[in-house]
Every structure is written in C-alpha cells, then in structure tokens.
Amino acid sequence: MAALNLISEALQKGKAEDVKKMVTDALAEKVAPKKILEEGLIAGMDIIGGRFKRNEIYIPEVLIAARAMHAGMSVLEPMLIKAGVKMIGKLAIGTVKGDLHDIGKNLVAMMYKGAGFNVVDLGVDVAADKYVKAATDGADIIGLSALLTTTMVAMKGVIESLKEKGAKAKVIIGGAPVTQNYSDEIGANGYAADAASAVEIGKKLLGK
C-alpha cells in the first residue's frame, strides 16, 4: 500500500509525478480520498510551511512543493466530489484583490466539494464586484482568503459591498494572518483556521 507519509515526503521534495502516481495508487487501494488529502497532501504542505517560516527553505522550494500538491489534487479532486453527498449548498470562494496565494483557498474549496457543496472557484486577485456577482448568482456562502497582512484589509470592503447590494450570502474568511477577532471586527459571519473547520462552520451557518 502507498503509505501516506511517502506521499507527504514526495510532495515536500516537489516530485509532482511521484505524488500524482502515489495518490492514484492509494485511490486504487481504496484509501479514503479525505485521508489521502489530510495525511498525505496537507500533512506535507504543513511541513513545507513550517520550514519556510524557519528559513530552512526558500520560495523556489515552496513553489515546487505547491506544484506537487496541485498534481496530487488534480487526481484527488474528482474522487472527493464523488465521495461527497448531494449538494448541500453553494460556496463561491476566491483570494482577495492583490493576493496571489491560492493553496489554502484551493484546499478549502476541495474540502467543501468533498462535503457535498457546489463550489465556484473565483480564483486569485478577486475584486469586490466579482464576489457580489457570485452572491447575486445564488451563492449561499462567500469565502474570502488572504495570506498577506496588506491584502486582508480588502475583506472589509467586500463585506461592505455585499451589504450595500443587500446580498443574503454568509461570508466566511480565512488565511494565515486572519483571526477570529478580525472576523468579528469586520462583520464576517465566520472564520476558520483550517479547511476542515471551514466546512464545519459553513454547514453550521446554513443550519446543516
């Protein structure tokens, strides 16, 4: 059996093709997609995040690991969706204006898909009017991601724009610099520190 720690190790080394193959093998061996995601891919990316923080590795290594993560996710995503139950709500999620970080946002999107949500990925560097349009188009939840202290301030503007248009969608926010205090301060409906709790909060907000 493809051990999940081997997936994590290959991801950390940036071996995209190996990660893709090991994820495919693990799925063929009936390992649960959520387990592969959490104990293989997310576990590896968490280690990369920590090593980058301690200056043990630099941006190129992080980018290569991120590419391996995306390679694994490309195989896993349809399975996570398949494993999910019927659609329980619609999430539109994007990284706010000026911010290009998308790994965490993609993870949250994937976990929502796996939990049975219809997910619209708005991408990165998303302006407020795009979130407003997504809400008008029927999103129950708007997800805002920011990884920079300089871009998290844009979240407040998005919430104000949504209020101005009378949008009923609930707003959840997250990303490394974001806190529960900040969420309360700008009037978001929920905050989560990781992708799994992000889903719990979304379900709670919709009364599921």
C-alpha 63 chain-centroid distance: 17
Q: Would you state the structure tokens that stand for residue 156, as one six-digit string?
A: 């407040």
Q: Which of 59, 86, 166, 207 binds ligand B12 (CB under 6 A)?
A: 59
* 52 binds ligand B12, rule: CB under 6 A: yes
* 204 binds ligand B12, rule: CB under 6 A: no
* 172 binds ligand B12, rule: CB under 6 A: yes
One-letter amino acid for residue 158 of the chain: V
Burial letters 32-62, b for 16+ CB under 10 A, else e: ebbebbbbbbbbbbebbeebeeeeebeeebb
Please tell me the distance from the alpha carbon of residue 54 to that of residue 25, in angstroms, as a whole number: 33
Please tell me the distance from the alpha carbon of residue 176 to that of residue 99, in angstroms, as a whole number: 13
* 144 binds ligand B12, rule: CB under 6 A: yes
* 89 binds ligand B12, rule: CB under 6 A: no
Q: How far is the CB of 174 from ligand B12 (least distance, A)?
A: 2
Q: Would you state the structure tokens that stand for residue 116, as one six-digit string?
A: 């049975």
Tell me the window of 26-34, 112-120, 131-139, 175-183 that interacts with ligand B12 (CB under 6 A): 175-183
Question: Measured from the CB atom, is 22 or 68 closer to ligand B12?
Answer: 68
* 3 binds ligand B12, rule: CB under 6 A: no
Q: Which of 17, 100, 138, 184 binds ligand B12 (CB under 6 A)?
A: 100
Q: How far is the CB of 96 from ligand B12 (least distance, A)?
A: 10
Complete edge-to-edge strand list for the sheet that includes strand 141-145:
118-126, 90-96, 141-145, 170-174, 190-191
| Residues within the interface to ligand B12 (CB under 6 A) | 45, 49, 52-53, 59, 62-63, 66, 98-105, 107-108, 143-145, 147-150, 172-177, 192, 194-195, 198
